[in-house]
Structure 1
Amino acid sequence: MKFNKFLITIVLLLSFCSFQLQAQVHRTGWRQIIHKNEGSWFASVEAKRIAENVLLYQRDIGGWPKNIQMQEPLSESEREKLLGLKESTEDVTTDNGATIQEMRFLSKMYRQVPDERYKKAFLLGLDYVLKAQYQNGGWPQFFPLKEGYYTHITYNDDSMLNIMNLLKDLKDHPERISIKPSDEILTKVKKAFEKGVDCILKTQYRQNGVLTSWCAQHDENTLEPAKARSYELPSLSGKESAGIVLLLMSITNPSQEIINAINSAVAWFDDVKLTGIRQEYIVNEEGRFVDKKIVKDPDAKPLWARFMNLEDNKPFFCDRDGIKKATMAEIGLERRRGYAWYTDDPSVVLNQYPEWKAKYDKPNFNKKPKEEYNMVVAKDGSGDFTTIQEAIYASKAFPYQRVIINIKNGVYREKVRVYSWNTHVSLLGESKENTIITFDDFFKKINLGRNSTFHTSTLLVEGDDFIAKNLTIKNTSGPVGQAVALSVNANRCYFENCSFWGYQDTLYTAGEGFKHYFKKCYISGSVDFIFGAATVLFENCTIHSKSNSYISAASTPQGQKYGYVFKNCKLTADDNVNQVYLGRPWRLFAKTVFIDCDMGGHIRPEGWHNWSKKDAESLTFYAEYNCKGTGFKPSERVNWSHQLTKREAKKYTKKNILGDTSNNSKIQWYEKL
């Protein structure tokens, strides 16, 4: 049975590939020839015949029309017609690879057969490309300009990118191009490339002040994202942006602006990747591709949507009516089947990024801030440092006053560690929504044995008396197992107006006897996403569940009076989540209490789970008091949990939970925040 299923799968895949080749034969044949490795074939009779066609199709202005199968034989009447079109500028373009691919073909031909006609045609094409560039550095889809969206700066289908890569080869890798322009032309090429890079940097979209990625096309005047065809609305592109970043990463000795653009785009790719799904192609009984759909697959490699909302990065899909839909399944068969709505191109960027970063974006450990107790981190280079870790390295050990690190809006893709000697450090973001620290380590990726979880955190705090405000901390690895966003292994740590995003094990609060305070924070995750041994007060926080699982997994040490205390918190969940436990014991003496909390309907009636540890039912302390919401069902809770009396609840004061009760006259640490 398994063997038959395997055979069926192979047949379906072969059928789909066959269909794709048939459906795109108008484009694929010529492209296959263009991408042939240079060699003796380009001196063959067949290659020379095709080269004659290429010369015929070129217009006097220097460019070529698109979607032409140059390898197809031409009749005498077709040749005469093409000669008659030489002076025409209609449909001359760089769209779908046109012009650039013909120029690259002629370069390969000229290396084997130094026919001066090939050189002349190539240089004429180069002149066409240089003339087509806007003053702001961008290129339209058609030149001379064709009315409509064709005048937009066009990244779609790599139109401008193909030009930029050719110009880069001409100026940086002349060995790749057999035809050598004059020094005067090469000067123009260099200037055009620099203007193109400037255009790319200026068109990178800022979402609430944070650099993200690019649209498939941008208005040639305002540089804002622009619409093309009816189903190609202004949006952030998961596909075209990948090629742009790879181009920027290929630039040697990049400026700080280029480095910032790359770092920001990579962080965006990491943030918007779609995990746990894959595209499934459907074929009929004849083996023909008829449809495609999205299915859940926890082992699938990440995907990215082709189009995402400018405001919130949510994927959308369109029919020819231009109306946004939330899923591919909601659009008609014609557009669903006939367009590439998903891509995995950014995975190439993410794979190459670590090597690039190690080469071009090394931290400067010797840089000194203007003020040693008041530093600024800004990705655009306007502060003392461009990374948070650089600021940590520059901080005094065991300082006599608090070290303030102000972090400007931006996406900081880095693992940050506040060392044990970095006491009294404050990380103050410009805004919770737009000051984001993100990374994507997870258990299997770290692969350091049974304790790999504790090496996965995006932010690790080991210095006592730490403060964080107005920040978002993310672990973007997705639902792949243990992956910590924030790990706190220090005492007297305070978090206010912060967001913590992850799945399993989002927030680790460590330390026997350590005390932490989370106020007005947002914490989201799936399995045991708040866990650890510390005493922690969560006050006025939102606790959001992403899956049917467990909110907390306390490991409160025996004899410790308080564990987790949630006061005035709101418990929410994704739409499809409806079976969530309040907690289960990571260790037998776990303590977790919910007081005056609003519990959504996703909370299970029984409330608590013993983690298959019978002893936990007598040793843990799980309790609630005066909660509300459809998820608060005290009469249905497990009989070994507690509903506090009013008198018992009064003991859960801030001072009792967090304070040092050994000296009543002492000002408490949380009163100095």
Structure 2
Amino acid sequence: MNFFKHIIIAIAIINLTSNNIQAQVREKSWRSIIYNQDTTWFATQEAKAIAENVLLYQRNIGGWPKNIQMQKPLTAQEKLQLEKLKASTEDVTTDNGATTQEMLFLSKMYKATSNEAYKNAFLLGLNYILEAQYDSGGWPQFYPLKKGYYTHITYNDDSMVNILNLLKDLKDNTGKYAVNPSNETIKKIEIAFSKGIDCILKTQYKQNGVLTVWCAQHDEVTLEPAKARAYELPSLSGSESAGIVLLLMDLEKPSEAIKTAINSAVAWFEKVKLTGIKQVWELDEQTKKRNKVIVKDENANPLWARFMELENNTPFFCDRDGVKKYALNEIGYERRNGYGWYTENPSKVLERYPKWKAKYDVAVKEKKSPKDEYNMVVAKDGSGDFTTIQEAIYAAKSFPYQRVIINIKNGVYNEKVHVYSWNTYVSLIGESKENTIITFDDYFDKINLGRNSTFHTSTVLVEGDDFIAKNLTIKNTAGAVGQAVALSVNANRCYFENCTFLGNQDTVYTAGEGFKQYFKNCYIEGTTDFIFGEATVLFESCIIHNKSNSYITAASTPKGQQFGYVFKNCKLTADENVDEAYLGRPWRLYAKTVFINCEMGKHIKPEGWHNWSKKEAENSTFYAEYNCIGEGYKPEKRVKWSHQLKKREANKYTEEHILQSNSNNSKIKWYQNL
């Protein structure tokens, strides 16, 4: 009997010890359990029990709600309720670490147990993240989209940084995650990651033309800083911006745009850091509650405010009434003590920056010269002579005796490109029109340089004569926010073939009195006056696409110039909801625009042309058509002051007549053999 008595006591001790260990783990926070460094623990029954909770909390769409302590034991009734919620998409989010942290936990479980259920749940979460991404590259706070500020692109609490770090670890196969997605999924991850980094670069805020950092939220359409809760006003963020920069610093072979983003953010962190103060908790004698206060301390570590004014970096604070205050003690007790108004996170950036700079930020002048200065290669992955287009242009000879060809590999080049007047005979040759993309997002109000701000907004500005572009896309991504130029050409004898030009208002500006330009087999889209300017331009076999009811052209042809805009064999198309578009209106009184052998969609208004409320323009402009087809071609209904050409009149609109120019070599016709 004594023997059995000892056995029973031993079993009781084991059970008691086991229960105590379980209680200790269960009492820990969910986050501490996820980051448990004891890998053997994830194979225990206790870990499996918690994993079952995680699987229950996951919705069918793939994501999880936030702020759930997944390790807490569930009653049978609670489990039943969670089963009923499986099909719900309400409150599924990546905010506060939700979804990404559950995926990390499941990955550790899969590594320890090889249970396919954990792997499948992980992949479902991954699919949720990929599906939730905006075309702009950002992620909303909740997906499916939840009304209100939740639709904004959110850097708040490192939500988007957490997502991108997860995608980076998966695409780079760092070993952090035990689940290996398929090759097809890896390709999707690479695209999503690239788009996310581009979004970060596009949303970095410019203060008086100088790059700074980021807001906690950015509008999903305009990408401008946006408001969230009443006390979270548009501002520059000292906290979230640190996480973004640390992510950028982890990228191998950073592009010049990424280097610029990092350098600019670090300069801003240095500029706005707060020294000589620290945040402490004091006991309020009256309320007997802890109270957050700021005190002077010359030896304190630097601090950064959570929110700073967009215009001048002044720290501010806010209560639930949304009214800005400029001292922490000016807001109420609840918000003062229940929110993180200061951060030390940028210190991590400043600590890492010298090592990063020594490794990556080599000055342009120290870079090796291209192998062939007349045939250069630009590649984002570092495999070419340069990683940005502008670097190659800087390296191009001025007024060369032979053509300088810049070959651009596929990639999204988020940069403003300027071909200077001394950069003559430059060719930009893309690897493919679909995947070689030059993009930027300047627009009139963003530039804010007065009445002529439009002319500073271009993504690509060409001022060098005899320029050629082929097989690429030039895009202004500012959105429908007013004047925003994609391509500005202020040069003579310029040729564009198999290119796409994307924008809204003022997409393509063709400048230069007497200059000749030629667009062949191109696609041009926009909303209002999206082809405008004074140059003589031949558009041949192009697709001209209206995105809204407005005007296609706004020519400003100088008085006495023989030709303005000539569209030959072009196709005029439109979005489905567009049904009232004009062929053109006169930016200046002597505008000339002619359509020959073109196919016009039904979106073209019967009257065809508009005088821009300039009655005198009806006598001075020359708007004409010849031998066009399509539902939008209604010559009998055109305004009386426009023209329908006769055959003999149309015969003068030849390539040679339109594009003849005083070239340096009169024996060679610049527009041939290009």
Q: Calculate the TM-score normalised by the size of structure 1.
A: 0.57
Contact 2:528/2:551 (<8 A) preserved: yes
- Whole-Å Cα distance in 2 between the matches of residues 84 and 649 of structure 1? 85
Q: RMSD in angstroms over aligned alpha carbons?
A: 4.7
Q: Which stretches of structure 1, 4 residues or more, deviate above 6 A after TM superposition?
A: 51-54, 97-103, 128-132, 138-143, 156-159, 193-197, 233-240, 242-246, 260-263, 358-363, 661-665
Residue of 56, 59, 62 corresponding to 2:26 = 56
Matched, 1:256 2:246: no
Deviation at 1:91, TM superposition (A): 2.0
Deviation at 1:150, TM superposition (A): 1.4
CA, structure 1 residues 505+86, in 2 after alignment: closer, same or farther (shift >3 Å)? Answer: closer
Deviation at 1:609, TM superposition (A): 0.4
Report what 1:421 is aligned to: 422
Report what 1:498 is aligned to: 499
Alignment deviations for residues 31-60 of structure 1 (CA, whole Å, 9 cap, x no partner)? xxxxxxxxxxxxxxxxxxxx9977435699
Matched, 1:222 2:182: yes
Q: Secondary structure at the match of 2:117?
A: coil
- Whole-Å Cα distance in 2 between the matches of residues 461 and 663 of structure 1? 19
Report what 1:539 is aligned to: 540
User: 5 Å matches for 1:331-342?
Assistant: none
- Whole-Å Cα distance in 2 between the matches of residues 147 and 249 of structure 1? 32
Report what 2:448 is aligned to: 447
Contact 2:51/2:106 (<8 A) preserved: no
Q: What letter matches 2:546 in structure 1?
A: S
- Whole-Å Cα distance in 1 between the matches of residues 65 and 458 of structure 2? 43
Matched, 1:199 2:175: no
Report what 1:650 is aligned to: 651
Unpaired stretches in structure 2, ≥5 consecutive residues: 1-20, 36-43, 59-63, 72-101, 131-162, 201-240, 263-348
Contact 2:517/2:537 (<8 A) preserved: yes
Residue of 111, 121, 124 corresponding to 1:150 = 121
Deviation at 1:668, TM superposition (A): 1.2
- Whole-Å Cα distance in 2 between the matches of residues 579 and 236 of structure 1? 37
CA, structure 1 residues 560+101, in 2 after alignment: closer, same or farther (shift >3 Å)? Answer: farther
Q: Secondary structure at the match of 1:669?
A: coil
CA, structure 1 residues 512+241, in 2 after alignment: closer, same or farther (shift >3 Å)? Answer: closer
Deviation at 1:90, TM superposition (A): 4.3
Q: Secondary structure at the match of 1:412?
A: strand
Matched, 1:405 2:406: yes
- Whole-Å Cα distance in 1 between the matches of residues 68 and 633 of structure 2? 65
Unpaired stretches in structure 1, ≥5 consecutive residues: 1-50, 66-82, 104-127, 160-192, 205-216, 227-232, 267-351
Contact 1:429/1:435 (<8 A) preserved: yes
CA, structure 1 residues 518+156, in 2 after alignment: closer, same or farther (shift >3 Å)? Answer: closer
Alignment length, in residue pairs?
438
Deviation at 1:99, TM superposition (A): 11
CA, structure 1 residues 238+196, in 2 after alignment: closer, same or farther (shift >3 Å)? Answer: closer
User: 5 Å matches for 1:122-161?
Assistant: 146=117, 149-152=120-123, 154-155=125-126
Report what 1:91 is aligned to: 52
Contact 2:164/2:193 (<8 A) preserved: no
Matched, 1:604 2:600: no
Alignment deviations for residues 444-481 of structure 1 (CA, whole Å, 9 cap, x no partner)? 00000000000000000000000000010000111110
- Whole-Å Cα distance in 2 between the matches of residues 617 and 156 of structure 1? 58
Alignment deviations for residues 119-156 of structure 1 (CA, whole Å, 9 cap, x no partner)? xxxxxxxxx9999757xxx9889986525621438557
Contact 1:533/1:554 (<8 A) preserved: yes
Matched, 1:376 2:377: yes
Deviation at 1:222, TM superposition (A): 1.9
Contact 1:249/1:262 (<8 A) preserved: no
User: 5 Å matches for 1:653-668?
Assistant: 653-660=654-661, 666-668=667-669
CA, structure 1 residues 84+219, in 2 after alignment: closer, same or farther (shift >3 Å)? Answer: closer
Report what 2:530 is aligned to: 529
Deviation at 1:626, TM superposition (A): 0.4
CA, structure 1 residues 649+258, in 2 after alignment: closer, same or farther (shift >3 Å)? Answer: same
- Whole-Å Cα distance in 2 between the matches of residues 99 and 142 of structure 1? 26
- Whole-Å Cα distance in 2 between the matches of residues 464 and 585 of structure 1? 26
Contact 1:92/1:144 (<8 A) preserved: no
Q: What letter matches 1:220 in structure 2?
A: N
Q: Secondary structure at the match of 1:454?
A: helix
Alignment deviations for residues 338-364 of structure 1 (CA, whole Å, 9 cap, x no partner)? xxxxxxxxxxxxxx9xxx9x9877873
- Whole-Å Cα distance in 1 between the matches of residues 434 and 195 of structure 2? 26
Report what 2:552 is aligned to: 551
Report what 2:571 is aligned to: 570
Report what 1:632 is aligned to: 633
- Whole-Å Cα distance in 2 between the matches of residues 235 and 406 of structure 1? 23
Q: What letter matches 1:149 in structure 2?
A: N
User: 5 Å matches for 1:305-344?
Assistant: none
Report what 2:395 is aligned to: 394
- Whole-Å Cα distance in 2 between the matches of residues 426 and 580 of structure 1? 34
Q: Secondary structure at the match of 1:437?
A: strand
Report what 1:485 is aligned to: 486
Q: Secondary structure at the match of 1:146?
A: helix
Contact 2:466/2:494 (<8 A) preserved: yes
Deviation at 1:220, TM superposition (A): 2.3
Q: What letter matches 2:490 in structure 1?
A: N
Deviation at 1:534, TM superposition (A): 0.2
Report what 2:511 is aligned to: 510
Deviates most, 242-251 or 482-491? 242-251
Contact 2:255/2:388 (<8 A) preserved: no
Q: What letter matches 1:487 in structure 2?
A: S
CA, structure 1 residues 92+250, in 2 after alignment: closer, same or farther (shift >3 Å)? Answer: farther
Contact 2:110/2:118 (<8 A) preserved: no
Percent of aligned positions that are identical: 59
- Whole-Å Cα distance in 1 between the matches of residues 578 and 631 of structure 2? 14
